Amino acid sequence: MSEFKVIGVIGAGQMGSGIAQLAAVAGSDVYLLDKDTQALQTAKASISNSLQRFISKSQLSKEVGMKALARLNYTSNVEDLRFADIVIEAIVENEDVKKKLFAELDKIVKGSAILASNTSSISITRLATATKRPQQVIGMHFMNPPPIMKLVEIIRGADTSDETFDATKRLAQRFGKTVVCSKDYSGFIVNRILMPMINEAFHALYTGVATKEDIDAGMKLGTNQPMGPLELADFIGLDICLSILKVLHAGLGDAKYVPCPLLVQYVDAGRVGRKRGIGVYNYLKSPKQASRL
């Protein structure tokens, strides 16, 4: 179990593709699965571009980059994960959908395999109840973008074993990451602190305290952050931020986590951030394109 020769990653979006890239560079055979074949094609191109960038900046040798590309397999067939030593799930942030997947995986993967979730906020303990191996279920929360960001937050569910925790920690370290460990309460460490800040930035915009540019510049320059909170929300995905705030509110019960109406409205309008070309900011080239969303 501790060697992780074969790694399955489910969800080929911005997180899953980055995690698959890390795993392949670290020497594992990787099966990246998505139900959407277009997402797999986009992931393939984005991983190849990302590895080329690392090579051109001399942060990775050409040989390692090429070997990593050869270790990556793209699939929509969950049976292809049956030989995986660990499966890292990075699909949509929805508890029911994740539970359904965990129940399915539990029947397919070998008995020794670990089932990890990259969830930003959903209870690992509850995800584990969908399986018959709760001691082998764990949270492995990568930051965005996974190949660049140095942190992995590991979350132990109520029944996660020491063996699973130790093996997962070693894997994150093999990926070159620093590990922090959180107990299994909504939002864990990072999002419990980050999301109220992002929500407050939306409230500041919603109530007309300042322009989006001034809110972001104020926090960037005033608190020495590389991105302002609204810019960061667009980068994370406004849909993801909204889901996390709902989980924080439901799990911790405090009204301070209720999502700002403006955030809800942007998501309702499909303005979910950079991945759609428009969120708080417009990343599309022409206003005509934006109006078609």
Ligand X SMILES: NC(=O)c1ccc[n+]([C@@H]2O[C@H](COP(=O)([O-])OP(=O)(O)OC[C@H]3O[C@@H](n4cnc5c(N)ncnc54)[C@H](O)[C@@H]3O)[C@@H](O)[C@H]2O)c1
Side chain identity at residue 43, one-letter code: A
How far is residue 229's CA from residue 216's CA, in Å, rounded to a whole number? 6
Cβ atoms of 122 and 187 closer than 8 Å:
no
Each residue 211-250 as x (binds ligand X by CB under 6 A) or -, in order, gives: -------------------------xx--x----------
| Tokens (6 digits) for 99 | 């539970």
Cβ atoms of 7 and 23 closer than 8 Å:
yes
Q: Which is nearer to ligand X, 25 or 90 (CB)?
A: 90
Q: Per CB under 6 A, does 144 bind ligand X?
A: yes
Q: Per CB under 6 A, does 12 bind ligand X?
A: yes
Q: Write phi, then psi, for 264 (nearest 5 degrees).
A: -60, -45
Q: Per CB under 6 A, does 134 bind ligand X?
A: no
Q: Per CB under 6 A, does 39 bind ligand X?
A: yes
Q: Which of 119, 164, 182, 199 binds ligand X (CB under 6 A)?
A: 119
How far is residue 130's CA from residue 123's CA, in Å, rounded to a whole number? 12
Q: Among 138-146, 159-167, 251-259, 277-285, which window interacts with ligand X (CB under 6 A)?
A: 138-146
Side chain identity at residue 199, one-letter code: N
As annotated, the active-site residues are 120, 141, 153, 191
Cβ atoms of 240 and 141 closer than 8 Å:
no
Find out whether 34 is annotated in a ligand binding site.
yes
Q: Per CB under 6 A, does 123 bind ligand X?
A: no
Shortest approach of ligand X to residue 93 CB, angstroms? 4
Cβ atoms of 147 and 22 closer than 8 Å:
yes
Binding site for ligand X (CB under 6 A): 10-16, 33-36, 39, 90-93, 97, 101, 118-120, 141-142, 144, 236-237, 240, 275
